[in-house]
Amino acid sequence: MQRINIFDTTLRDGEQSPGVNLNQLEKLEIAKQLERFGVDIMEAGFPASSQGDFEGVRNIARTIKNASVTALSRAKKSDIDISWEALKEAQEPSLHIFLATSPIHMTYKLKKTPEQVVQIAEDMISYARKKFPNVEWSAEDASRTDLDFLVHIIEKVIDAGATVINLPDTVGYSTPEEYGYMFKYVRENVPNIDKVVLSAHCHDDLGMAVANTMAAINNGATQVEGTINGIGERAGNASLEEFAVALNIRNNVYPFTTNLVLNEIKRTSDLVSKLTGMPVPANKAVVGRNAFAHESGIHQDGILKNASTYEIITPELVGVQSNNLVLGKHSGRHAFKDKIEQLGYQFSDEKVTEAFKAFKLLTDSKKEVTDDDLFTILTEIQTDIQNVKKYELLSFQVQYGSSNIPTATVALKTPEGIQVETACTGKGSVEALYNTLESLIKEKIHLTDYHLSSIGQGRDALAQAHIKMTVNDTTVSGRGSAQDVLEASAKAFLNAVNRVFFNKKLEEKEKETAQL
């Protein structure tokens, strides 16, 4: 069976989703999970876009050993040089250069003639190959490009040294028939096409990203690009977990294989969802909460008699445990440590102690602790901002009733170590709480989004709050979890504010390093 390379762009294209703002610790955690998931190439970011992105890519390049780490670059020498500095310590560094080829992009965005575009592509590929052993070239908006021009420029960039050719459906415009035919045409008409890997990158604006990707591999593509949960700009990218499971379930139609570890799908999906603050829709294929739920009486009857009547994907295939009740009030530290290792976390003794303490606090009010509960605790501790002066919640109290004005009283410890306390009102309990927090914090804050979700089911389920805000005109996001929705909300608010201090410390550290 033909093996398909998996190119994951969750940390680059996925992070471009509106409102997503990952810090370096979170990016690194996702990268390590993508490595466990078995991706062949991970696009860690766009180093030339910001110093923060540069540092994030460099940290990932230094850490990941079992996947090629790549970065996005415009067709500019300065971008290529910056990307090399970020990636040069990687086990297998590679570069991804993009340049638009459609008439509409060349005319209105690039303001270049087709001949000029070809020359730029050749020159930049040749320049990049002096540094990188592998260079992918993307014909941006390939699906709206004249096919004969596409053939011409591909031949030229292969001669210039490109090792991978990517033909993206940049705006999600193609149908499967059109997208598949483009790959077939390129295969048949580019004389040196056998020297490169041919890659597919699809967006989901018309809901056909995965279908288009399938059409591409049936017509000669040997690499697939996408993101976890299908996140990305606008309507998102091809969902890698849907692609992987479709190959597995329908291998009679798609005789292809990948290196992906399918039972890591659920964990990877959950991690990306929690850290990006983008909930997975309940009816999402493969990883949605309802993917294995059957409410219809006829369906339930069939499932009980034979699961294959209505269930073509087993929960275990993608890492969903049918019974994930694991630990309780009397569980000891040793059993807890074994469990977190089973969940794929590698903690220092100090972090294990911190996690065990949080677990014990949870068992005081929650009889049974599930894998989902543990996953939330461990993720928060793993990505917590350490050794940074920040705001700390000491206590809070909210008075609320149908005939009372909601009032919140909050005590905080400031980054300077001073304890402050005040009370404010609001139209609701969350607004009162947030008004109080904002009055205690010196920074200029504007809340732009807030939502709550539950982890697991039942009245004792953990609440998880995600918020987006600007702090001193910098866009940040925050998250917090607790059994009480107001406590989760307060934690999310402070988590967002404290990210500004974390980012500031990173900038200071980077300046010190640059001076050395």
Q: Rounded mean pLDDT of 313-334?
A: 76
Residues 412 and 370 in one domain: no
**Quick one: average pLDDT of 62-73?**
98
pLDDT category at 430 given cuts 50, 70, 90 is very high
- Please check the confidence at residue 119 and state whether its pLDDT lies above 80: yes
Do 11 and 53 belong together in one domain? yes
- Secondary-structure percent of the chain, ordered helix, strand, coil, rounded to 5: 45, 20, 35
Question: What confidence tier does 515 reach under pLDDT thresholds 50, 70, 90?
Answer: low
Chain-wide mean pLDDT for the chain? 91
Q: How many domains does the chain have?
A: 3
Domain assignment present for residue 475? The answer is: yes
* pTM confidence score: 0.89
Name residue 337's amino acid.
Answer: K
> Residue 507 belongs to what H/E stretch?
helix 485-515
CA dihedral 20→25→28→33, nearest 10 degrees, is: -80
Q: How far apart are CA 149 and CA 376, in angstroms?
A: 50
Reported as type and span, the H/E element at residue 422 is strand 419-425
Residues 31 and 160 in one domain: yes
374 or 512: which leads in pLDDT: 374
Indicate if 377 and 399 belong to the same structural domain.
Answer: no
Euclidean distance between CA atoms 302 and 310, whole angstroms: 7
pLDDT in tens, 189-235: 999 999 999 999 999 999 999 999 999 999 999 999 999 999 999 99
- Show which of 355, 382, 409 is a domain's final residue: 382
Q: Tell me the C-alpha to C-alpha distance, in Å, between residue 400 and each of 403, 424, 426, 440.
A: 8, 12, 10, 21
Decide if 293 is inside a domain.
Answer: no
3-state secondary structure 443-493: CCEEEEEEEEEEECCCCCCEEEEEEEEEECCEEEEEEEEECCHHHHHHHHH
Ranking 112-121, 146-155, 216-225, 339-348 by mean pLDDT, the lowest is 339-348
- pLDDT of 299 higher than 50: no
pLDDT at 306 over 80: no
Which of 139, 243, 253 lies closest to 198 in space, CA to CA? 139
Task: Tell whether 283 is covered by a domain.
Answer: no
**Are 86 and 136 within one domain?**
yes
Q: Tell me whether residue 255 is in a domain.
A: yes
Structure tokens at 457: 């089911």
**What share of the chain has pLDDT > 90, as a percent?**
70
Mean pLDDT lowest among 148-152, 293-297, 444-448 = 293-297
Residues 491 and 365 in one domain: no
Give the pLDDT of residue 335: 84
Over the stretch 172-182, which tens digit does the pLDDT of each residue have? 999 999 999 99
| Confidence band for 293, pLDDT divided at 50, 70 and 90 | low
| DSSP per-residue string spanning 165-216 | EEEEETTS---HHHHHHHHHHHHHH-TTGGGSEEEEEEB-TTS-HHHHHHHH
Question: What is the mean predicted confidence (pLDDT) over 414-428?
Answer: 95
Q: Are 256 and 247 in contact (CB under 8 A)?
A: yes
Q: Which residues 6+ apart lie within 8 Å of 46 measured at CB?
A: 12, 53, 71, 72, 73
Question: CB of 200 within 8 A of CB of 183?
Answer: yes
Within 10 Å of residue 16's Cβ, how many Cβ atoms? Answer: 16
Ramachandran region, residue 236 (left: φ > 0; alpha: ψ -120 to 50; beta: rest): left
Measured torsion, CA atoms of residues 463, 468, 470, 471, in degrees rounded to the nearest 10: 30
Instruction: Give the residue-averaged pLDDT of 137-146.
Output: 98
| Tokens found for residue 209 | 């990203």
Query: What single-letter DSSP state applies at residue 16?
Result: G
Q: What are 360-401's pLDDT values in tens digits?
A: 888 887 777 878 888 888 888 887 766 778 899 999 999 999
Closest CA to 500 of 466, 465, 471, 467: 471
Residue 311 to residue 286: CA distance in whole angstroms = 11
Residue at which a domain ends, from 242, 276, 310: 276
User: What's the CATH code of the domain at 491?
Assistant: 3.30.160.270
Q: How many residues does the chain have?
A: 516
Q: Is the pLDDT of residue 513 over 80?
A: no
Which range has the worst mean pLDDT, 223-227, 453-457, 486-490?
Answer: 453-457
> Same structural domain for residues 99 and 11?
yes
Between 299-313, 352-366, 465-479, the lowest mean confidence (pLDDT) is in 299-313
The predicted model gives 22-51 an average pLDDT of 95
Please list, in sequence order, all residues whose beta carbon lies within 8 angstroms of the beta carbon of residue 450, skipping any fewer than 6 positions away. 430, 465, 466, 467, 468, 489, 492
pLDDT tens per residue across span 234-265 = 999 999 999 999 999 999 999 999 999 999 99
177 and 47 within one domain: yes
| Residue 253, phi then psi, degrees to nearest 5 | -100, -35
Q: Are residues 102 and 247 in the same domain?
A: yes
CATH code at position 271: 3.20.20.70
- Cα radius of gyration rounded to whole Å, the chain: 25
Interacting residues of 402 by C-beta distance below 8 A, sequence separation 6+: none
Closest by CA position to 160, among listed 129, 197, 206: 129
Both 397 and 500 in one domain: the answer is yes
Which of 85-89, 327-331, 375-379, 506-510 holds the top average pLDDT? 85-89
Note whether residue 468 is domain-resident. yes
Asked if 91 and 178 sit in the same domain, the reply is yes
Which pLDDT belongs to residue 41? 98
258 and 148 in a common domain: yes
Q: Is 292 inside a domain boundary?
A: no
In a domain, 451, yes or no: yes
According to the model, what pLDDT value does residue 325 have? Answer: 47
Chain centroid offset of residue 406 CA: 37
| pLDDT for the residue 349 | 87
Last residue of a domain, one of 255, 276, 297: 276
In terms of DSSP H, where are the helices of 227-384? Answer: 240-249, 265-276, 297-305, 333-342, 349-363, 371-382
For 94, the enclosing helix (H) or strand (E) is strand 93-100
- pLDDT-based confidence at residue 512 (cuts at 50, 70, 90): low
- What does DSSP assign to residue 317? G
Which residues span the domain enclosing 352? 325-382
In angstroms, the CA 43 to CA 240 distance is 14
> Does residue 315 lie within any of the structural domains?
no
Instruction: Identify the band that residue 424 occupies on the pLDDT scale cut at 50, 70 and 90.
Output: very high
Predicted confidence (pLDDT) at residue 77 exceeds the cutoff of 50: yes
